[in-house]
Structure 1
Amino acid sequence: MNTILKTLTLGALLANSSSVLAGDFFIGVTGGQSNFSELNEACDELIDDNRLIGGFPVSCRVTEDSDTVLGVNAGYNFNSFIGVEAGYLDLGEYEADFSVAGLSVPATATLDLAYAGLVLSAPLSEAFSVSGRVGGVNANVEVTSLGFNLELEDETTAFVGASLDYRFTDHLSLQIRYDDLDVVDITSAGIRYHF
C-alpha cells in the first residue's frame, strides 16, 4: 500500500508543473483474456521437487490456466503525458488436478484484484497515443477443493503495463492493453468515457 501512495504522490507532484485545467477524469470498462502463469509454475515445482505427502509422490496437472477478464477503472489525466488510474479486475477461475498416490484431487482458484498506478503517455497524433503504467496491485485468491473453501492471504505486488489508445471524440476512447501483474498476464480491450 505504501508503494501505491508513493506512486500516486509522485504523479501529483509531476503534474503540478502543468495546468490542472488541461486534465480530465475518466471511467472505463475492460474485457479480455488472462493467463495465470503462476499455476503452471507451481505444478512444475511439485513435479521437479518430487514432493511427497505421507511418503507418496505428489503430481500436478493444470487443466485451465486462462479465463475471461472483466473490469472497471477510473482515473485522472493531469495533462497529455501524466495521469493516475485505479481499477478492479475479476480474473475468473483456474483449475488444476493434484494427484497423491494415484488419487486425483481437483482444485479451483478464483482471482480478483484491485490496482492503482501512475500512467505515462506519449501522444502519437491528435487521436492516437501510447501509454505505460506502473503501480501496485492487491490480489485476492480463493481456492476450492473437495467442498472446502480456502481464502489465501491478500498479496500486494507491483505491476507494469502498456497500451495503445485511440480517442474517437472528446469524451470517448478505446484502449488495447497488456498488463503484467506478476503472476497473471492480461491482454484486454476497454472503452472509456472522459468528463
Structure 2
Amino acid sequence: MKRLIVTAALATLVASPAFAQSYPGVPDEGFYLGAGIGQSKLDNDTLDWLGSIGANTDDKDTAYKVFAGYQFNPNFAVEASYLDFGDYTASASDGADSANIKLGVDGFGFALVGKLPIDGGFSVFGKLGLIAWDASLSGTATIDGVTYRDTAGDSGTDPFYGAGVEYVIDQIMVRAEFERYDLSDSGEDFTIDMISASVGYRF
C-alpha cells in the first residue's frame, strides 16, 4: 500500500505536463485557500506495546488542517498547510493506582502537488513534501496515594506524501485525500495516517 501511494504520487508529479488541459469554470492558475477535517491514526511501537500488556490505548482522533497554495498551471502547484492531528492516549489502573499519558502532534507542511485532470473539473493528484512538527507528551500517575505529573516536548522535520481526488466548479474546490506522515524521533518511528475531506476556494 505504501509503495503504491508513493508510486502514484511520483507518477502524477512527473507525468502531469504531458496531460495538460483545462476545463471551463476551472482556473488554470492562481492562489487558493482551504480547510479540511478527518481522522488521524498513529502507528507506534511503544503505543502498540502498551496495548499488548493491557493498557487502554486510543490511536485515533479527529484531525483538521488549513492550507494555502498557488496553482502554476492545470497540473502543478505548491501548497503550505497547518495540521493538528489530535491526541493519542494510553491509560491503566490497578486498584487505587493509575497512570495515563497523552501525546499531541501538530505541524506545518510544504508540498509539491501534481494533478491529472480527468473530466469536467475532476482531477486526481499526488503530493510530496516535508512537515515541521511539534509533539507534546504529558503524563499523570497516582501510586500509593501520591500523584506525579510530568510533561515533555520535541520537534523535527520529516517527509510526507499523499494522494486524492479533487472537484472544482465555479472556483469552489472539494477534495478527498489520504496522507501519510513518517515522523522519527530519537530512533523511534511515529507514522500518522490521515484521511480527510476539504473545501476551498480558487481565486
Q: Could you tell me the TM-score, scaled by structure 2's length? A: 0.72
Q: 2:163 is matched with which residue? A: 162
Write the distance in 2 (CA, Å) between the matches of 1:60 and 1:83: 46
1:109-155 CA distances to partner (integer Å, 9 max, x unpaired)?
11111100100100001210000000001121111111635342202
Report the secondary structure of 2:46's partner residue. Answer: helix
Write the distance in 1 (CA, Å) between the matches of 2:31 and 2:55: 45
Q: 2:123 is matched with which residue? A: 129
Q: 2:194 is matched with which residue? A: 186
State the Cα distance separating 1:164 from its structure 2 match. 0.3
Write the distance in 2 (CA, Å) between the matches of 1:135 and 1:37: 20
1:7-63 CA distances to partner (integer Å, 9 max, x unpaired)?
xxxx9xxx9xx9xx941100000000010112xx22345789xxxxxxxxxx46352
Write the distance in 2 (CA, Å) between the matches of 1:164 and 1:131: 6
Change (3 A) 1:140 1:99: farther
Write the distance in 1 (CA, Å) between the matches of 2:54 and 2:134: 22
Residue of 28, 34, 42 corresponding to 1:36: 42
Runs (5+) with no aligned partner, structure 1? 1-10, 49-58
Contact (CA 8 Å) 1:29, 1:73: kept in 2 or not?
Answer: yes
Write the distance in 2 (CA, Å) between the matches of 1:47 and 1:36: 13
**Aligned letter for 2:103?**
A
Identity of aligned residues (%): 29
Report the secondary structure of 2:154's partner residue. Answer: coil
Greater percentage in strand? 2
Write the distance in 1 (CA, Å) between the matches of 2:198 and 2:51: 38
- Aligned residues: CA RMSD: 2.6
Q: How does 1:1-195 map to 2 (within 5 A)?
A: 22-38=28-44, 41-45=45-49, 59=53, 61-97=55-91, 104-146=98-140, 148-169=149-170, 171-182=171-182, 183-195=191-203
1:63-107 CA distances to partner (integer Å, 9 max, x unpaired)?
21101111100000100111101100111111013689xx54210
Instruction: Report the number of matched residues.
Output: 164
Q: 1:51 is matched with which residue? A: none
After TM superposition, where is structure 1 displaced by more than 3 Å over at least 4 residues in a row?
43-48
Change (3 A) 1:47 1:64: closer
